[in-house]
Structures are given as structure tokens and as C-alpha cells.
Structure 1
Amino acid sequence: MFSPIIIDLLFRNFAPILLQITSRLRTVLSSHKGPDISTTLFLSERVLMGRALRRHLYDLYLPPKASDAVKLDRIQSLLFFPGFGIDHSAYADVASRISDNGIPVAVASLEPFRLAHKGLGGGMDDVKRLILLAGRDIVQHYKHVHKERQHSIIVEWALGGHSMGGYNALQLAEVLQSNDGKTPSVLLHDGSISRIGQKVVAWAAGTDIEGFPDLSHADSKLPLRVFILLASNDRFARISSHQQKHRILSKLPKKSRLDTIKGGNHSGFASYDKSSQEDIFNGLREISRESQHKAASFRTINFLLEK
């Protein structure tokens, strides 16, 4: 048994630390946002249709049976990380739009903290686990749709994300860049391959110059291509000057792209409930959320499918 003196010493020394941890944890949990009702119902419909799979580590949105994607030997796919505090199912609307155009989308679950960070589900080891499991699901879907085409295929993943998730994708790209041109690749049981490709998509990620990953050293070993998509009314991830834009582009590989959705805001890339006070952070959206989803998915699809 501990003596009262020892217990008192432990309490006095560790209580402030425990209070600090509790306070920070409370802040994180209070920032959690779930999908709105219509999105929850929409996702349920997709699952019933066989167009979405709900797994422990991710939700996977699959192309329609008639899609050209399932007729190819290489299937361009997107591994997507949610924003800070956002339930991954809040991306059902926009992820489904992308999958409708032949690109499977796996939206990672970052429960319970919902922080896209290498130590909390967003690291390279996590990526390897995700592309193994989701790649297996895609191959199974492909072979179920085209029973006459049972040969091995390649599932090639672009890395992407929204807000903190987009910044995480950029940090992962920095890891890939420093890995001598080698990207994670896993062999599936039927001889198919699930691997990380050379494309990165970041929606409304941080635009702070000093903290922005330097990806300008991508060379012939790993010719990375990055797509930065912002929203004009976003009050968090925004470019306020030509000088800032130039400096960000200077940190990106040569074949990169930076685009802006006019009238969009920070939260408009997903479908979650928010309070009016959050408009200070998100900015006021001047277009419908559906219009922003359509713009984000259309521009992302074009980037992912172009040679």
C-alpha cells in the first residue's frame, strides 16, 4: 500500500499534467463534427446499392458496374484523409461523385481522435495497411463485375485529404520524395498489386509558407504531381498575395497545379453540421454546397485521370 505522503506527492506532481491532458482532449473531442442527416441517409443507400463498403479503418466508394475503370488493368484510386475533427462519413457526397467517374475512393477513419497525423493513423505504416485492405476490396469488386477478366491488376493510389488531412497528404508526399523514388507497394493474394502512385490532392490545406512541406526536389526517380485546391471565401487556407502564391508554387514539383473554387468556403468540401460561430473560421459560402462538391470532384477527377 502507498503511504499518504507518497500519494500526496504523486497527486501534486501529476495532477497538473493530467488536467492539461484532459483539457486538450476535451478540446479535441468538442471539435468533432458528424455528417448531416441527408449525408448519413445517402451513405446508407450507397451501401445497399453495393456502391460503398464500410470497414473499420475506412469507407470505400466504388465505381458503377458500367464504369471504364473496372475494365482497365490499372485502376486509379484515391486514399483520402478527413479534416480535423470530421467524421470520415461526412465525405460521402463528394467521394461518391468521384467514384461515379470511375475512381475508387477510400476515406480513412481516424477514430477516436480524428487527427490526421503520423502518430494517430496518418503515417506511412497506416497507408500501407490501408492500401492492402482497400486494394483487396477493389480487386474483389473488379473481378466480381468482370468475371471473364481474372488476371492480376494494379490498384494505384493517389494521396489526398481535406484541411489537416490535405496537409497530412503533403507531408506523406515529402516522405515519399525522400525515399529515393520508392513508393509503398503491397502484393495481394491473387498476384495483383496495390501501390502508392505519384499524385497528391490537397483540399483547403494550410497555406502557411514556413510550415508548407518542400516538395520541389521531386526528380526523375519520383516525378510527383500535386494539386492544391482552395476556396475563395475560406478564411483559414487562403492565399492573400501573389508573393504568397509564388512561394507556395516554388515548394511544389514542376507539374503541379493550384486552383480555387470561387465562392466556396472551408467546410464546403464536406457535409457536416456546424454552428454559426464557425463561419469566422470557415468563411461564408456564396455558392451551394452541392456546387462546391461538384467543382471539387470535377477538378480532382480531371487531375487524377490526366496522363
Structure 2
Amino acid sequence: MTDITLIEAARLRAHGVVRETPLLSSPFLDEIAGRPVLAKAEVLQHTGSFKFRGGWSAVSALSPEERTKGVLAFSSGNHAQGVAYAAALHGVPAIIIMPRDAPALKIENTRALGAEVILYDRAGGEKREEIGARVQAERAMTLIKPFDDVQVIAGQGTCGLEIAEQAASLGITHGTVLTCCGGGGLTAGIALALEAHAPGLRVRPVEPEGFDDTARSLAAGERTGHGRPEAGFCDAILTPMPGLLTFPILHRLCGAGIIVTEDEVREAMRLAAARLKLVVEPGGAVALAGALFHGDALADGPVICTLSGGNADPAAYAAILASG
């Protein structure tokens, strides 16, 4: 099980490689939210998302023998790129299994980072797990799961260590931390880091409307799904339900989930571009949408939100900016 010791060890292995991303603010966003809003700009991380943290942590923790055999991952995009780049930096072979309908930019970037990409027909019923099982049987590669992996959670927790230090430097000891939440790796890692180093900061996961499996699970006290396909506007964070490893952490440490609409996400993307000068993809903007438009669901005080990914499809992103 991931704990603060593993997170701090992951940070030591990440030193000099993983970027410490800034905590940004804008008076215009503060005015909309009616409180101080600070954005953790993981869009500036290597590969354009926080997923590089977990990828680097997992690959760097492998034994020499495991590295020789290579790594395998399933992903619609950001985890794919994070693992591919971490593997490339370690000189480790990587195979990434991606849905054929994943954003083209994410597929192209994963290949450009040196990974072998295997595409599967998600809509047609092909199962990535079956493909992965065949690859593992043939090549004995180590599977790095996108969120339900002890070292991946530890790597994402390094983001929480930075938030704790950056908040303290600003004199912030109490407040809410909103995370963009899919399977819960980032949320769980940040929650564990803050429990140890900034217990006055409470984590709340944010999800898009209709894909609120974490919010439902927290309300029910057990893992439950949303029952929809893993495809949609906020593709980066659409998972069927919280992870077996992540949910117990979320249940113990996090407040209730917050659900945002697609229109709120679009407006958050436009505001991030206009006020923070940052490109944020839909799944990476849900926490900012929660901070700006759901203040009535938050405790008093400042709010810190993760901008978890910036790998937006160029044409779709341009249309969103223009529609504002």
C-alpha cells in the first residue's frame, strides 16, 4: 500500500527530472470564485500532464532485470505519454495499448516518445486486458497501471508534497484542494501527502457530469460505477470506477465529490487561457471549473485546484476558445 514513505522516496528518485510545477493565481479568477484560487499547473509537467510523475516513479522503481524486459501500459493518452517518456529516459522498451478512438495527438505523441503503440477497437468490443495478457505472456513485460499501482500513486503524491510546501510559503494552512479525478491515483497521492504535511488542506475530487463514479462511491461508502462507456468530452479522466487501491484512501481522507457540467469545463478552459495563459484539456480543467462555479459546495477559505493536463486536441480547443 502506498504511504508517505513511498511518496517521499519517489520524490528523491524524481529529483532533477520531474518538474516542480508552479502554483498560479489571477485576481480575475479570485473575483469569479469569490475567494483566492490557486492553480497547480501540471500542464507544464513533462508530456503535458501529471502522469509523467507516476510513470517516472514506476519505471525508476523497477529492478535492472525488469527494465531489460520492458514495460506495458493501457491508456487513452496521458498515462501513455508519461510511461513512454519515462521508459525512454531509462532506455527501457515500452508497449502502450491505446483505444483507436483516443485523441490523435496523444497517439502520435506516444509513438514519437519511442513507445510501440498497439491500437484496439474499444467501441467494437475489443478488450485491452486481453491484448495486454497476450503481450505479457510473450514478453514478460511489467504492467504499469494508470492509477491502481503503488508506485504510480506514490509518484502522483509528489504533486501533493509540492502543494503542501507552496501553500505553506504563501501562509495557507487551511483550505480546499480540488483534484481532477478519474481512477483516483492523483487524488489519492495528493491526499496522502497532505495528510502528512498539510493536514489543514482537505482534498475534494471533481468529475464531469455523467461520469461521477468517485462521487457516487464516496457517497455510498463502496466502489460503484457510472455504467457508461469510457469515452467522452473529458476523455483523460473517464474511468468506470475508482481503483481497488485508490478508493480506500479516498474514502478515508477526501470530502464529497463535486460534479461539473461540460459547459462549466469549457468556460474554465477559456478562463485558463485568458487569465493564466495556459492550455488545459477538458479532463484537466474540471477542478478549476469546480473552484470557479461550485463555491457554494466548498468550505470557506482559499481553494487550490489541479490543472492536470494540457494535451488538448488543437481543432477542438480552438473551437472551444472561439465559442466563448
TM-score by length of 2: 0.33
Q: Which has the higher helix share?
A: 2
With a CA cutoff of 8 Å and minimum separation of 6, indicate the structure with the bigger relative contact order.
2
